[in-house]
Amino acid sequence: MILPDTPLYNSKTDAEFRIRMIHHIRTTFKDLLPPADLKLLDLPNGLDLLQAKVHQMLFDASHGAIDLRAAETKKLAA
């Protein structure tokens, strides 16, 4: 996979990338995500929680046509 040559993707460590990604999400999507969802990013697994929430929102909005949820979530929903 080819990544863009931007500061976000030119992180030296995983922790640095995580910090930059959280900052990017907060600034880019602050008008789209409610404050409660943005607060999820403060948790250790906040990126995973927010990703799962967005996948569920996409599933709901598409009436099940688009399903990016994790396999575990699909089993629980069935």
Q: How far apart are CA 65 and CA 47, in angstroms?
A: 24
Count of Cβ atoms closer than 10 Å to residue 11 Cβ: 14
Q: How far apart are CA 7 and CA 5, in angstroms?
A: 7
Tens-digit pLDDT profile for residues 24-70: 899 999 998 899 999 999 999 999 999 999 899 899 999 989 898 87
Whether the full predicted model's pTM is greater than 0.75, yes or no, is no
Distances from the Cα of 22 to the Cα of 10, 51, 65, angstroms: 15, 12, 28
